[in-house]
């Protein structure tokens, strides 16, 4: 039994929906279909979710919302017309979109989420209708009836663990269930969404809930590439990745799948595959708990910019009990998350995301480090990027770092910092952002050119 999730670009037009139908029909184990809202048809287009945000803002500020409603309804209408669906489905969708502008504004912390969720909810109704017209025994199910109960955190819901028992009952359904992604309901019956891109999370939750044999996540690329295609020319798509590797790659710029989507499938031990709606015969990328058989030491290379390093040194730092804690306390008081903390004997660097460090916070950190912690030197280094070289199997190989650093030195790239966690899932290099693309290309070539 498989749970299959389609992203917005796979559902953007009638033409795409025909491919979706073909994919669902081609395998009778595909019993649970989780859908996003219609996405962009081309680069200039607007996602329905973004149109709903605009509609919400206009409604809140008491502006005329007719144009917003018409735009969204027309978006569904063009799909309904092209698929030749009965007009009653469009009437239902139009009424649901218009009804949003009758909801109370005051004391309604779930209003925004209710607007946003309408994108997925109406799309699921439309798709179930289309499947039925094409002879599938399919049914729309609202997350509330499916049992997808979430915490009351608008825009950032989390699944309540108690939901899983109810979700498991969905296994007994003999129909194909079409489930809107991206939201659940709270115990008080309020619509509450996950963070943006959260339909992936719904798919993962349903897969864990029904104890699926596979969670198939369909998008518009042939799986996960070993490097960013905007940086490396035609990188290969990775056949198999472990959850840990995926997390490391996603951390530094790989955004095919929502970060949080891995958790339910991982805990439920459900294998996941990322596939392409436009090329369904391509095997895509499988995400598994453990590699099956022989695997290469490095699976992928990612790079991400906007990192800042707060560097400090103090003579005999290593002998001072509690020094690290005090530094981190300064950051905590300023509500700054830190990402990495490479250390030397007498120096310590804290790497944070650039957006976390406003000029005022930067000044405060420098002043506290100098006054309270009496460091000898402190400096802030901006425009840094990190490069992650990822592969669980590197722990069994000698020379991975040597290969990577040789590639950098051949390109004349200076390594600012280097760090490797004890789990040896990834090696992290910190370099100047100006060198990032060149570095990713050089390291990619060093590991994969001869493959």
Chain residues binding ligand ASP by CB under 6 A are: 8, 36-37, 47, 49, 119, 181-182, 196-200
Q: For residue 186, what is the enclosing H or E element?
A: none
Which residue, 217 or 368, is less far from ligand ASP as judged by CB? 217
Question: Minimum Å distance from CB 119 to ligand ASP?
Answer: 5
Residue 204's Cβ-count burial label (10 Å; 0-12, 13-18, 19+) is buried
Which residue, 119 or 143, is less far from ligand ASP as judged by CB? 119
Which residue, 72 or 299, is less far from ligand ASP as judged by CB? 72
Alpha-carbon distances, residue 316 vs 106, 109, 293, 311 (angstroms): 58, 52, 48, 16
Asked whether the beta carbons of 52 and 117 are under 8 A apart, the reply is: no
Q: For residue 46, what is the enclosing H or E element?
A: none
Which residue, 97 or 226, is less far from ligand ASP as judged by CB? 97
Chain position whose Cβ is nearest to ligand ASP: 199
First to last CA, the chain: 35
Strands 377-390 and 426-432, how do they pair? antiparallel
Which residue, 52 or 430, is less far from ligand ASP as judged by CB? 52
Which residue, 110 or 182, is less far from ligand ASP as judged by CB? 182
Alpha-carbon distances, residue 172 vs 1, 6, 25, 210 (angstroms): 11, 23, 20, 9
Question: Minimum Å distance from CB 424 to ligand ASP?
Answer: 33
Question: Minimum Å distance from CB 252 to ligand ASP?
Answer: 21
Query: In a 3-state reduction of DSSP, which class is residue 217?
Result: strand
Question: Minimum Å distance from CB 363 to ligand ASP?
Answer: 36
Question: Minimum Å distance from CB 279 to ligand ASP?
Answer: 20
Candidates 401, 377, 380; CA nearest to 391 is: 401
Question: Minimum Å distance from CB 77 to ligand ASP?
Answer: 19
């Amino acid at each position: 039994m498989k749970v299959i999730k389609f992203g917005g670009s796979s559902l953007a037009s009638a033409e795409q929906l025909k491919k979706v139908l073909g994919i669902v029909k081609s395998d009778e184990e595909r019993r649970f279909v989780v859908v996003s809202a219609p996405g962009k048809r081309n680069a200039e287009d607007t996602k329905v979710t973004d149109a709903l945000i605009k509609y919400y803002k206009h409604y809140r500020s008491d502006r005329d919302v007719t144009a917003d409603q018409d735009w969204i309804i027309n978006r569904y209408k063009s799909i309904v017309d092209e698929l030749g669906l009965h007009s009653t489905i469009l009437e239902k969708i139009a009424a649901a979109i218009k009804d949003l502008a009758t909801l109370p504004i005051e004391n309604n912390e779930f209003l925004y989420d209710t607007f946003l969720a309408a994108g997925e909810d109406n799309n699921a109704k439309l798709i179930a209708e289309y499947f039925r017209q094409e002879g599938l025994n399919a049914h729309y199910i609202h997350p509330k009836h499916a049992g997808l109960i979430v915490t009351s955190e608008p825009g950032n819901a989390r699944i309540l663990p108690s939901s899983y028992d109810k979700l498991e009952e969905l296994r007994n359904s003999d129909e194909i269930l079409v489930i809107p992604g991206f939201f659940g309901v709270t115990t008080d019956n309020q619509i509450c969404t996950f963070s943006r891109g959260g339909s992936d999370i719904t798919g993962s939750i349903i897969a864990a809930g029904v104890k699926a044999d596979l969670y198939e996540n369909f998008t518009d690329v042939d799986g996960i590439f070993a490097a960013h295609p905007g940086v490396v020319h035609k990188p290969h798509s990775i056949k198999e990745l472990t959850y840990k590797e995926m997390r490391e790659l996603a951390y530094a710029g790989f955004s095919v799948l929502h970060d949080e989507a891995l958790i339910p499938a991982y805990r439920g031990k459900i294998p996941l595959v990322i596939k392409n709606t436009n090329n369904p015969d391509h095997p895509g990328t499988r995400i598994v708990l453990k590699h099956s058989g022989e695997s290469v030491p490095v699976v992928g290379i990612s790079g991400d910019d906007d990192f800042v390093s707060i560097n400090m040194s103090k003579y005999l730092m290593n002998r001072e009990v509690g020094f690290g804690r005090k530094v981190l306390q300064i950051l905590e008081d300023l509500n700054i998350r830190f990402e990495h903390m490479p250390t030397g004997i007498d120096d310590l660097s804290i790497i944070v995301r650039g957006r976390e460090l406003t000029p005022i916070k930067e000044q405060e950190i420098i002043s506290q480090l100098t006054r309270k912690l009496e460091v000898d030197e402190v400096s802030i280094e901006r425009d840094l990027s990190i490069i992650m070289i990822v592969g669980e199997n590197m722990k069994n190989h000698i020379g991975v770092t040597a290969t990577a650093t040789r590639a950098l030195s051949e390109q004349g790239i200076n390594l600012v910092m280097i760090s490797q966690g004890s789990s040896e899932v990834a090696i992290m290099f910190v370099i100047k952002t100006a060198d990032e693309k060149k570095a990713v290309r050089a390291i990619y070539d060093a590991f994969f050119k001869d493959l």
